[in-house]
Chains A and B, each alone.
Chain A
Amino acid sequence: DTGVSQDPRHKITKRGQNVTFRCDPISEHNRLYWYRQTLGQGPEFLTYFQNEAQLEKSRLLSDRFSAERPKGSFSTLEIQRTEQGDSAMYLCASSLAGTAGGFRTGELFFGEGSRLTVL
């Protein structure tokens, strides 16, 4: 399978625990995005990387959230001291920036997501 993969697919945790999600993008893609989606809403942007550099982070992202992409390959998203409001689907997407650096040529390819339930 050469698509975007995410792990784990499902995570149930107790409030206050830390959780980490992993995303393996399509190998030649240099951009990697994290989104969060709740029922009835569209994906909400969290952060994105171009290669190993984290270029943007949503203002909505609290300091309990941190993301890394060492060596510009896979990425991890960690949530510390989880709260019930963190329950959501966490989606990872990758794309290939166009030669002009524009977004148009970079179709987003999503993984199947990691569903988090905080009890």
Chain B
Amino acid sequence: RKEVEQDPGPFNVPEGATVAFNCTYSNSASQSFFWYRQDCRKEPKLLMSVYSSGNEDGRFTAQLNRASQYISLLIRDSKLSDSATYLCVVSLASGGSYIPTFGRGTSLIVHP
């Protein structure tokens, strides 16, 4: 079983739609959670951190469910510019260090 699992998609949605991605992680000792965005042939960039109480940044909402070991990302009112791959990142404990571990990413295509 992979440490961080994501549905690769693609999720193909029209502009204005609401879309949600989930990500599951296997290590219950995981401490920190993030969503990164990666555009085609570009490097990943931080989209948002995920806090235990859930957090919102404009059209984006992230939530964490420690009991079920998953995090989610909700995008409301999708824009064409939201088309990208969304990477779930979980920091896993390894001998006292925290290693950011990436999922394979979920591809989102927003069409007119």
Contact = CB atoms under 8 A, between A and B. Distances in A.
A102 B33 CA distance: 12
**Chain A interface size, under 10 / 10 to 19 / 20 to 34 / 35 or more:** 20 to 34
A112 B101 contact: no
Task: Give the secondary structure class of A's interface.
Answer: loop
Given A40-B104, A42-B87, A110 B99 contact: no
Interface residues of B, number: 26
A42 B103 contact: yes
A81 to B, nearest CB: 27
Contact of B43 (A50, A107, A113): A113
B100 A42 contact: no
Task: Give the secondary structure class of B's interface.
Answer: strand
12 contacts: A35-B102, A44-B102, A45-B101, A48-B97, A55-B97, A103-B32, A103-B91, A104-B31, A104-B32, A110-B43, A110-B45, A112-B43
Interface in B87-103: 87, 89, 91, 94-95, 97-103
Interface in B1-56: 4, 6, 8, 31-32, 36, 42-46, 49
Contacts of B8: 40
Given A102-B32, A110-B45, A42 B104 contact: yes
